[in-house]
Amino acid sequence: MDLVVVSNRVARAKANEPMTGGLAAALLPVVEKSGAIWVGSSGRVRDNVSRDSFAEIESLGAGALALLDLPAAHYGGYYEGFANSALWPALHSRADLIQVAPGDYQSYREVNAFMARALMRFCKPDTMLWIQDYHFLALGAELRKLGIRHPIGFFLHTPWPVRRIMSGVPHHRDLVEAMLCYDLIGFQTEDDCENFAAYLRAELGLAVADGEVVSRFGTSRIATFPIGIDVDGFAAQAQRAASHPEVSRLRKSLHGERLAIGVDRVDYSKGLVNRISAFDRLFEIEPALKRAVSLLQIATPSRGGIEAYSNLQDALSRQVTEVNGRHGEVDWTPIRYLSKGFSQTVLAGFYRAAQVGVVTPLHDGMNLVAKEYVAAQNPVDPGVLVLSKFAGAANELDAALLVNPHDIDGMARAIAMALAMPATERRMRWEAMMARLRAGTIHQWFSGFTAALEATRAAGRPPALVRPLRSLSGAAC
Ligand code: G6P
C-alpha cells in the first residue's frame, strides 16, 4: 500500500529546529518511518502556479516530503481568511471571532482544488490518501471531481463544535457535505464525533448509524482516533536533554526556586490570559510562594497577520509586564515570558526540569504538550500536570489535576496544590498517566487510522449516488 499524507504545515526532519504546532511535530516520526509521501505547503506563494509547482521534493525516511508553492492570488483568503478567521474560531467555539471577507471561501476552495490537482501525480493504483486538518475539509471532494476513487481519509486535529456554532460559518452546509466524499472521517474525541453526527442529522438531514453515514456520495465511516505521542522516544529524549546547554542554563538560573512551565502558540484557544491571571492570583493567595516558584511561559508567535492574534500578543505582553511589576523584585521575575519557539529536544529538557506543567486551554483538540510533559518526567521524582478539562487530553489524563480554565481562583489553588503534593502521590498520578499514554501512542494512532482506511477499500466508493438523504434511522456514531 502506498500512502500519501497531506497537511498544510509539514515538519522537516531536523531535531534542532523549532516546531510550530502539534500536528507537524507529531506526524514527523511516523510519516518518516512509514515511507509515505508527505505533501504540504512550502510556505511560499507564486503568481503563476501550475499543478507542478512543487518547490521541493526531498527524501524523508523511507518516503518523501513534497512541498508545494500555493497560488498567490488565493493564499491570503485561504490561510489567514477562511481557514484561520472562520474555521479555526468556529472549531474552537469562538463564533464571536468569525470574520469572513468576500472571496475567502472561494479562495479556500481554489486552494483545495489546486492541491487536488497537484496530488494527481502521486496517485498510483493502490495509493491511499490521508488528509489532515481543517485547511483541507473539501480536498476529498476536489479529488473525487478529478475522478479519484482511491480510499481517502480525513483526520481533524481540532475539536468539532456544537451544531449552532458550526452553522455560524458561512457556506457551512456546502463544506460539510463536501466532507462526505471522504471514506473515513476521524476525530480526537467522542464529543467531537457526536457533535459532527448531530450536525449531519440536523443540518443535512442525514442519518448516522453504527459510525456510518450514507450520503449521495456513498458511505463514510466516522470514528475517533485520539492522537498520541512517541512515549518512550520522548522520555529518552528528555533524559538526554538534561545535559543540553540551554537546559543547563535554565537549571542554573533557578537557585533552588521551583519552576512551572507552559508551552503554547499564542492563540486565543490556549487560555494564556487566564493562566497569567492564575499566577497573579497565586502570588496573592500564597505570598510565601513568591521567590519559591516562577512560571516559564514559552509563547511562540503565531498567525501574526490576523488581528485577533496580534491583539492577543499585545495584550499578553502588557499583562506579563503588569504581573511582573506587581510581584517581582530586583532579583526575581515571577513570569519568564519568551516569545519564540524551541526545538523538541530543548523543550523535552525544559519539561523535565519543571515541577509543574500548566496546560490550560479554553478548548483544544488534544494538546500534545500535556502528553509530552508527562512523558518527559523523571520517574523517581515526577512533576505534576495541571490540565484543563477542555483539552482532549483530559479524557485520557484524568490523573492530572484537572481544572476549569475560566476559574482563575481554582487554577491558582490547583497550582499551589501541585507544588505541595507529596512524592508518593506525584508518582501514583504519573504512573497512571504513563499507562494511558502507552495504551495510545502515535504509532497506534497511525496504524489504527490507516488500517481503518484500508478496510474501506473493500467497500469501494460508487460514482456520485443520488439517493434520498433521509432514508436511515439515526443512532450515535
Ligand atoms: C494547530 C493546527 C495545525 C497547525 C498548527 C500550527 O495545531 O491543528 O494544523 O499546523 O496549529 O498553526 P499554523 O497556522 O502555524 O500552521
pLDDT digits (tens, 9 = 90+) for 129-164: 999 999 999 999 999 999 999 999 999 999 999 999
Closest ligand 1 atom number to CA of residue 79: 14
Please name the residue whose Cα sits nearest to atom 6 of ligand 1: 21
For residues 408 and 358, give the distance between their C-alpha atoms in angstroms, rounded to a whole number: 13
Regarding the beta carbon of 158 and ligand 1, being less than 6 Å apart is answered yes
Please name the residue whose Cα sits nearest to atom 8 of ligand 1: 157
Query: How far, in Å, is the centroid of ligand 1 from the Cα of 425?
Result: 35
Q: Which of 6, 20, 27 best tests ligand 1's pocket when mutated (most atoms within 8 Å of CB)? A: 20
For residues 440 and 224, give the distance between their C-alpha atoms in angstroms, rounded to a whole number: 12
pLDDT band, very low/low/confident/very high, at 18 (cuts 50, 70, 90): confident
Regarding the beta carbon of 21 and ligand 1, being less than 6 Å apart is answered yes
pLDDT at residue 254 greater than cutoff 70: yes
Task: Check residue 54 and give its pLDDT.
Answer: 77
pLDDT at residue 356 greater than cutoff 50: yes
Residue type, 293: V
For residues 182 and 178, give the distance between their C-alpha atoms in angstroms, rounded to a whole number: 8
Residues of the chain with CATH 3.40.50.2000: 2-227+442-465, 232-438
CA atoms within 13 A on the CB side of 106: 4
pLDDT tens digit string along 399-448?
999 999 999 999 999 999 999 999 999 999 999 999 999 999 999 999 99
Question: Is the Cα torsion angle 392, 398, 400, 402 positive or negative in sign?
Answer: positive
Query: How far, in Å, is the centroid of ligand 1 from the Cα of 102?
Result: 24
Which is nearest to 42 in space by CA: 62, 12, 63? Answer: 12
pLDDT tens digit string along 369-381?
999 999 999 999 9
Q: What is the CATH topology of the domain spanning 2-227+442-465? A: Rossmann fold (3.40.50)
Closest ligand 1 atom number to CA of residue 83: 14
Q: Which of the following is catalytic: 104, 230, 267, 364?
A: 364
Please name the residue whose Cα sits nearest to atom 7 of ligand 1: 21
Query: How far, in Å, is the centroid of ligand 1 from the Cα of 9?
Result: 7
pLDDT at residue 13 greater than cutoff 70: no
User: Average pLDDT over the chain, rounded to whole?
Assistant: 93
220-236 average pLDDT score? 97
pLDDT tens digit string along 36-92?
999 999 999 999 877 667 778 999 999 999 999 999 999 999 999 999 999 999 999
pLDDT band, very low/low/confident/very high, at 351 (cuts 50, 70, 90): very high
Please name the residue whose Cα sits nearest to atom 10 of ligand 1: 9
Please name the residue whose Cα sits nearest to atom 1 of ligand 1: 21
Regarding the beta carbon of 29 and ligand 1, being less than 6 Å apart is answered no
Task: Check residue 463 and give its pLDDT.
Answer: 47
Q: Are 328 and 293 in contact (CB under 8 A)?
A: no
pLDDT band, very low/low/confident/very high, at 349 (cuts 50, 70, 90): very high
Task: Check residue 55 and give its pLDDT.
Answer: 76
Query: How far, in Å, is the centroid of ligand 1 from the Cα of 123?
Result: 26
Q: Which of 265, 266, 363 best tests ligand 1's pocket when mutated (most atoms within 8 Å of CB)? A: 265
Closest ligand 1 atom number to CA of residue 24: 10
Regarding the beta carbon of 270 and ligand 1, being less than 6 Å apart is answered no
Regarding the beta carbon of 352 and ligand 1, being less than 6 Å apart is answered no
Regarding the beta carbon of 302 and ligand 1, being less than 6 Å apart is answered yes
pLDDT band, very low/low/confident/very high, at 296 (cuts 50, 70, 90): very high
- C-alpha cell of 164? 449552532
Residue type, 82: F
Query: How far, in Å, is the centroid of ligand 1 from the Cα of 192?
Result: 18
Instruction: Answer whether CATH 1.20.200.10 is correct for domain 232-438.
Output: no
Q: Which of the following is catalytic: 157, 172, 327, 363?
A: 157
Closest ligand 1 atom number to CA of residue 135: 9
Task: Check residue 48 and give its pLDDT.
Answer: 80
Please report the DSSP string for 123-192 in residue order: --TTEEEEEESGGGTTHHHHHHHTT--S-EEEE--S----HHHHTTSTTHHHHHHHHTTSSEEEESSHHH
Regarding the beta carbon of 301 and ligand 1, being less than 6 Å apart is answered no
Query: How far, in Å, is the centroid of ligand 1 from the Cα of 310?
Result: 16
Please name the residue whose Cα sits nearest to atom 11 of ligand 1: 21
pLDDT at residue 474 greater than cutoff 80: no
pLDDT at residue 255 greater than cutoff 50: yes
| CA separation, residue 385 to residues 256, 292, 359, 380 (Å) | 20, 18, 8, 16
pLDDT at residue 16 greater than cutoff 70: no
Regarding the beta carbon of 89 and ligand 1, being less than 6 Å apart is answered no
Which is nearest to 9 in space by CA: 105, 133, 123, 107? Answer: 133
Please name the residue whose Cα sits nearest to atom 3 of ligand 1: 23
For residues 116 and 110, give the distance between their C-alpha atoms in angstroms, rounded to a whole number: 10
Please give the model's pTM, rounded to 2 decimal places: 0.95
User: Environment class of residue 329 by beta-carbon count within 10 Å: exposed (0-12), middle (13-18) or buried (19+)?
Assistant: exposed
Q: Is 364 a catalytic residue?
A: yes
For residues 189 and 192, give the distance between their C-alpha atoms in angstroms, rounded to a whole number: 5
Which is nearest to 299 in space by CA: 328, 319, 325, 329? Answer: 319
Place of cell 538534561: 242
Q: Is 157 a catalytic residue?
A: yes
